[in-house]
Amino acid sequence: MRITLTTWSLEQTSPSDLRPSPAPEGGDITIARAAVPSPEYSRFLYTAVGGDIRWNDRLSLTYKQWQEIVEKPGAEIWVAYDKGTPAGYVELDPQDDGVVEIVYFGLIPAFRGRRIGGHLLSYGVARAWDLAERWPEREATKRVWLHTCSLDGPHAMANYERRGFRLFDTKVEEVDETETPGPWPGAHA
């Protein structure tokens, strides 16, 4: 079956564009960088967050391909934890000319709707802006961008806009509908 997919690309062009969201009240939310590159952990986060919203572009990657992604100089994964349990993540991909893409961002379904997303996104965007401080061989960040689509959660676009992202491109296409894989093959959310 074919469906219409809309993809929106958004950007910030200055650190002052970021409008941070506070940490949620009443929780024990911490955010830490997954500083040891681990294809297994990266794949776990990807499937746990994206399994119910049709993230499938990386499911066919080999271990070596996952390893190349997580070991790329300047690539970072920042994970939100609720009382020690992973709740979601932000994956940063450094690109040429001071550009950083937020390649993946999201929460595991059980943690959605608890005001963690705005806080995690704010933290991840701030880390995109100060990436060169941790990777001195990189030039200073000049632009942070991301894309979201009509398959993402219903609050995704509003969260990006509240954090100061501005729309710079929209693409509409007909694509084959894919099955929602769940967090592992054969599982359905």
Determine, yes or no, domain membership for 22. Answer: yes
The answer to whether residue 65 scores a pLDDT higher than 70 is yes
pLDDT given at position 187? 53
More confident site: 67 or 1: 67
How many helices (H) and strands (E) the chain has is answered by 5, 7
More confident site: 183 or 20: 20
pLDDT given at position 185? 58
The answer to whether residue 184 scores a pLDDT higher than 70 is no
- Average pLDDT over all residues of the chain: 92
Q: Burial level of 77, CB count in 10 A (0-12/13-18/19+)?
A: buried
pLDDT given at position 51? 86
More confident site: 25 or 96: 96
- Tell me 145's DSSP state: E
Determine, yes or no, domain membership for 11. Answer: yes
Determine, yes or no, domain membership for 188. Answer: no
Please report how the helices 63-71 and 39-50 are oriented relative to each other, as an axis angle in degrees rounded to 10.
100
Residue 76's contacts (CB-CB under 8 Å, 6 or more residues apart) are: 33, 34, 91, 92, 127, 131, 134
**Average pLDDT, integer, range 84-101:** 97
pTM of the model: 0.92
**Average pLDDT, integer, range 17-26:** 91
CATH number for 60: 3.40.630.30
Determine, yes or no, domain membership for 182. Answer: no
**Average pLDDT, integer, range 49-63:** 88
**Average pLDDT, integer, range 149-159:** 88
Determine, yes or no, domain membership for 60. Answer: yes
Number of domain units in the chain? 1
Determine, yes or no, domain membership for 189. Answer: no
Which segment of 94-103, 127-136, 151-160 scores lowest on mean pLDDT?
A: 151-160
The answer to whether residue 54 scores a pLDDT higher than 60 is yes
Boundaries of domain holding 109: 2-176
pLDDT given at position 189? 46
Which segment of 29-38, 56-65, 115-124 scores lowest on mean pLDDT?
A: 56-65
Determine, yes or no, domain membership for 165. Answer: yes
**Average pLDDT, integer, range 69-89:** 97
**Average pLDDT, integer, range 97-106:** 97
